[in-house]
Amino acid sequence: MGSMKTLKVALLGCGNVGAQVARILIDDAEVLAARTGARLQLTGIAVRDVAAKRTVDLPAELFTTEAEPLIKDADIVIELLGGLEPARTLIRSAIDNGAAVVTGNKALLAADGQDLYARADEAGVELSFEAAVAGAIPLLRPIRESLAGDRITKVMGIVNGTTNYILDQMDSTGAQFADALAAAQELGYAEADPTADVEGHDAAAKGAILAELAFHTPFDLANVQCQGISSITADDIAAAKDAGYVIKLLSIAERLRGLDGREGVAVRVHPTLLPRQHPLAAVHGAFNAVFVEAENAGEMMFYGQGAGGAPTASAVLGDVVSAGRRMVGGGPGRTETATVQLPAVGLDSVKTSYYIGLDVADQPGVLSQIAGVFAEHGVSIETMRQTIHAEDPHDTANDGGQVTAELRFVTHRASEASLAATVEAVRGLDIVNAVISVLRVEGI
Amino acid sequence: MGSMKTLKVALLGCGNVGAQVARILIDDAEVLAARTGARLQLTGIAVRDVAAKRTVDLPAELFTTEAEPLIKDADIVIELLGGLEPARTLIRSAIDNGAAVVTGNKALLAADGQDLYARADEAGVELSFEAAVAGAIPLLRPIRESLAGDRITKVMGIVNGTTNYILDQMDSTGAQFADALAAAQELGYAEADPTADVEGHDAAAKGAILAELAFHTPFDLANVQCQGISSITADDIAAAKDAGYVIKLLSIAERLRGLDGREGVAVRVHPTLLPRQHPLAAVHGAFNAVFVEAENAGEMMFYGQGAGGAPTASAVLGDVVSAGRRMVGGGPGRTETATVQLPAVGLDSVKTSYYIGLDVADQPGVLSQIAGVFAEHGVSIETMRQTIHAEDPHDTANDGGQVTAELRFVTHRASEASLAATVEAVRGLDIVNAVISVLRVEGI
């Protein structure tokens, strides 16, 4: 290894992931050098507070508050600061200096990725971001390279560990949302302010990046249709379970034709019923998975840790070794794949299935009336289940008061617009006391 | 695209997969050119019988029985003949001519891969084989590149669709092995002579390739310990189900220290109990999946179609596009990863868990005697379940004849040698009527 080239690596940020990246760069230097074909020398770690306590013991002399000099001297810059600034300015500076950039910053990529990709392309440097979506799960290379001879049509991801943990708890213990959230907070799976996770904002940002990855197109976060899980009740989960489904929060990106006939991309995040036999249904706890449908390859799934220091650090280092190999051996960087400009398509154009739970009067002709409304809107019913409720025991008048029933429908695929119109029309029927739940169904 | 370079592609073989590869090369020429940065021109298809019927309509003028002239003229050679010869000779010839080679030939790679890799390295050409293991599932790039900064410790694969289909049928319908096999044969999932599949030989060849992929080492097929599924009964499946497990045929490759303390690799194929919550348990029908454990990334799984014309063709074309990109843009080929020489380690060094079913006399002290045998061998018990059998109704003598019980143990991890010795010692006890089943357990 005497004649081996040395590549200088600058690390920006030393949180959970950054500290693990530094540890691995130091402890596994030999293995990394053999894989890269060059020594990877960690030249410094830029942080806000040099004296702050780290999760890993690292040499004090590596720390500095001055990021710019580190960047100017580096072959590879690893950005793990998170947030928009100063991350954006520092990444631009690294690109301007001709360094390869590896980042795990999904917020920045979702907000400003296209500008950064364009700058990297222009400068002829590599910008890689395996760690930004689904933590340790290898997605970038399988999707960009292994499937380069195929066409991806749809991607469905469980990409937020917090909400998957909460829904999995509700499913396995029957807990209500609030209790499962509290349990997740206690275990450190959910933050004190869980809004970004439970309302689907984090999953939306990752959905936009997934769409960009899968369809080689820019996708604006503002065009993601997003619904969180805070309104999911223990009853919803129990009813779904009873019918053979599990409820998961999915980020779904698909390539389809819009109402104007043009091909485009729709991205949506919402709680979704999945058959319990579906591979995504077996993703438990805080794990992540991305399910991909391609024209020739068919169905695939990639499963793994979505977060955590060491797992995410593994993804960062995969990118670092790849970038290093290219510096040693030459070859195409991120510019290698053609980019197209596909328009964002609204939810109206998406075809999906609905699960609809209704509280109805238990009297003859109810089902036929409701089925008529479905038919009018061109929505056909895949399955129907009826549960008769016992008469209210508190109704001591024994006046033959209304006995109610619960009807649960799963529809065949239909346009979102027809389904929404169907639900509204059904809601208007006299015999319908309440629409208990409306959830989308995938995987059937 | 006027000034775009053209790369000549020769196809050897036109079975199910080959015909799909040809179709995609012709039908999706534009997309492939955009992704590759060069036109991929299919110059010819070498087959034994030019007049044979194909599964896809292809231009007659492409077919030839003369492979060598095609190869001499090609930039990229796709070998989909299967079997050892003439595939080996033709691949060597392609390498000698400086062509990149893409193959899906697992038999040849398992038998002779090291020689071919070495020849390709020496000639500086790329030899890729994504389609050879787990069909359409991207494994090569995730394992070789995305995990380049990590260390894989264990790989467990469901890599044979036939046996997975049979076991899945037995699990869901309660069928016996012979009936499930017959059903698989009727559906074309199993061949008339199913030996290579059901006895695990196919899974063994893939296990050897998986080990090479994951651990960057040659691994000789002869060192794979292999046991098939033909002795699995409906009772085994039912008992496993009852205890919360499913039985899968797994190819397991792991990096571990042998009895001599040296680091090495063990590869084994055997029916395995997996907890029903395990991600591999959700792999149904003829699907394949590979579960990977890495030091930093933790647990990952890659799932998809293991066979079939179009899915496997997708994997072949991913390799073709990658090879083409490198020809256009330069850069490191297959030589990019360091290879080590790890010795094969015998099953004796592997630590695993056993599931042991015993038919015993139902009398006091039985459990204590058996538990004593476990303890003597240093094997500790994780769970025990007991089922008392009703007295034999045909035993009209009513002579107080022996009532039997069934004991089912799952052990903690112990060395294969201790476990085997434990089973032998238990078998020798007077109170043990029969050892009903011994199966290995993973994922606990």
- CA–centroid distance for B189 within its chain: 16
CATH architecture of the domain with residue range A6-133+309-336 = 3-Layer(aba) Sandwich (3.40)
CB contact under 8 A, A35 and B149: yes
Place of tokens 């990977």: B292
Mean pLDDT rounded to a whole number for chain B: 90
Test the A interface: residue of B121, B287, B314, B316 with most A CBs within 10 Å: B314
Determine the pLDDT at residue B390: 61
Place of tokens 């390709």: B120
CB A108 within 8 A of CB A85: no
CB A350 within 8 A of CB A266: yes
CATH number for B350-441: choose from 3.30.70.260, 2.40.10.10, 3.20.20.70, 3.10.105.10.
Answer: 3.30.70.260
CB B410 within 8 A of CB B358: no
**Distance separating alpha carbons of residues B32 and B40, to the nearest angstrom:** 7
Residue A334 banded pLDDT, cuts 50, 70, 90: very low
CB contact under 8 A, A296 and B330: no
**Distance separating alpha carbons of residues B147 and A315, to the nearest angstrom:** 7
Catalytic residues of B: 206
Specify which of A194-203, A208-217, A344-353, B146-155 reaches the highest per-range mean pLDDT: A194-203
Q: Is B186 left (phi over 0), alpha (psi -120 to 50) or beta?
A: alpha
CB contact under 8 A, B320 and A294: no
CB contact under 8 A, B282 and A282: yes
Catalytic residues of A: 206
Determine the pLDDT at residue A362: 85
Determine the pLDDT at residue A158: 97
H/E run at residue A299: strand A298-305
The residue-averaged pLDDT of A27-47 equals: 93
Which positions in chain B touch A287 (Cβ < 8 Å)?
299
**Distance separating alpha carbons of residues A207 and A220, to the nearest angstrom:** 10
Asked if pLDDT for residue B304 goes beyond 90, the answer is yes
Which positions in chain B touch A305 (Cβ < 8 Å)?
297-300
Residue A336 banded pLDDT, cuts 50, 70, 90: very low
Asked if pLDDT for residue A171 goes beyond 80, the answer is yes
Interface of A with B in 304-333 (CB under 8 A): 304-305, 308, 310-311, 313-322, 325-326, 328-332
Residue B335 banded pLDDT, cuts 50, 70, 90: very low
B208-265: pLDDT as tens digits: 999 988 998 888 899 999 999 999 999 999 999 998 999 999 999 999 988 888 899 9
**Distance separating alpha carbons of residues A129 and A126, to the nearest angstrom:** 10
A94-127: pLDDT as tens digits: 999 999 999 999 889 988 888 998 899 889 898 9
Interface of B with A in 151-170 (CB under 8 A): 151
Determine the pLDDT at residue A388: 80
Asked if pLDDT for residue A421 goes beyond 90, the answer is yes
CB A134 within 8 A of CB A123: no
Place of tokens 């290698």: A336
Test the B interface: residue of A27, A128, A172, A314 with most B CBs within 10 Å: A314
CB contact under 8 A, A141 and B142: yes
Tokens of A220: 């604006």
CB contact under 8 A, A331 and B330: yes
Which positions in chain A touch B296 (Cβ < 8 Å)?
20, 24, 136, 310-311, 313-314, 317
Q: What is the number of CB-based contacts under 8 A between chain A and chain B?
A: 218
**Closest by alpha carbon to B382, among B371, B366, B368, B396?**
B371
Alpha helix positions (H), B216-333: 234-242, 309-329
CB contact under 8 A, A37 and B336: yes
CB contact under 8 A, B314 and A294: yes
Phi and psi of A281, rounded to 5°?
Answer: -70, -20
The separation between the first and the last C-alpha atoms of chain A, rounded to the nearest angstrom, is 55
Q: Which residue in A305, A310, A318 is closest to B146 by CB distance?
A: A318
Say whether B268 sits in a helix, a strand or coil.
strand
Asked if pLDDT for residue A186 goes beyond 60, the answer is yes
Determine the pLDDT at residue B391: 57
Asked if pLDDT for residue B331 goes beyond 80, the answer is no
- Pairing relation of β-strands B381-388 and B404-411? antiparallel
**Distance separating alpha carbons of residues B228 and B223, to the nearest angstrom:** 16
The fold of B140-305 is Dihydrodipicolinate Reductase; domain 2 (3.30.360)
Determine the pLDDT at residue A213: 87
Tokens of A17: 């992931």
Asked if pLDDT for residue A234 goes beyond 50, the answer is yes
**Distance separating alpha carbons of residues A273 and B247, to the nearest angstrom:** 27
B1-60: pLDDT as tens digits: 457 899 999 999 999 999 999 999 999 999 899 889 899 999 999 999 999 999 899 999
Using a 10 angstrom Cβ sphere, with 0-12 exposed, 13-18 middle and 19 or more buried, the burial of residue B11 is buried
Cα radius of gyration rounded to whole Å, chain A: 25
Interface of A with B in 221-280 (CB under 8 A): 277-279
Cβ contacts of A48 within 8 Å, gap of 6 or more:
A65
- CA–centroid distance for B363 within its chain: 44
CB contact under 8 A, A140 and B149: no
A68-88: pLDDT as tens digits: 999 999 999 999 999 999 999
Quote the minimal CA–CA distance from A187 to chain B in Å. 19
Mean pLDDT rounded to a whole number for chain A: 90
Determine the pLDDT at residue B349: 83
Which positions in chain A touch B317 (Cβ < 8 Å)?
148-150, 296
Interface of B with A in 4-43 (CB under 8 A): 20, 24, 28, 31-32, 34-37
Complete DSSP assignment for B294-325: ETTTEEEEEEEE-S-HHHHHHHHHHHHHHHHH
Determine the pLDDT at residue B149: 86
Specify which residues B88 forms β-bridges with.
none
Determine the pLDDT at residue B334: 44
Determine the pLDDT at residue A325: 87
Spans of all domains in chain B: 6-136+309-336, 140-305, 350-441
Name the residue of chain B whose CA is nearest to A216's CA. B35
B114-126: pLDDT as tens digits: 899 889 988 989 8
The residue-averaged pLDDT of B399-424 equals: 86
**Distance separating alpha carbons of residues B80 and B17, to the nearest angstrom:** 7
The residue-averaged pLDDT of B308-334 equals: 84
Whether chain A has a CB inside 8 Å of the CB on B301: the answer is yes
Cα–Cα distances in angstroms (integers) from residue A239 to residues A231, A385, A424, in the given order: 15, 10, 22
Tokens of B345: 């380690």
**Distance separating alpha carbons of residues A191 and B405, to the nearest angstrom:** 51
Does the structural domain B6-136+309-336 have CATH classification 3.30.465.10? no
Determine the pLDDT at residue B395: 52
Phi and psi of B412, rounded to 5°?
Answer: -75, 170
Complex prediction ipTM: 0.87
Using a 10 angstrom Cβ sphere, with 0-12 exposed, 13-18 middle and 19 or more buried, the burial of residue B29 is middle
CB contact under 8 A, A318 and B150: yes
Whether chain A has a CB inside 8 Å of the CB on B141: the answer is yes
CB contact under 8 A, B297 and A303: no
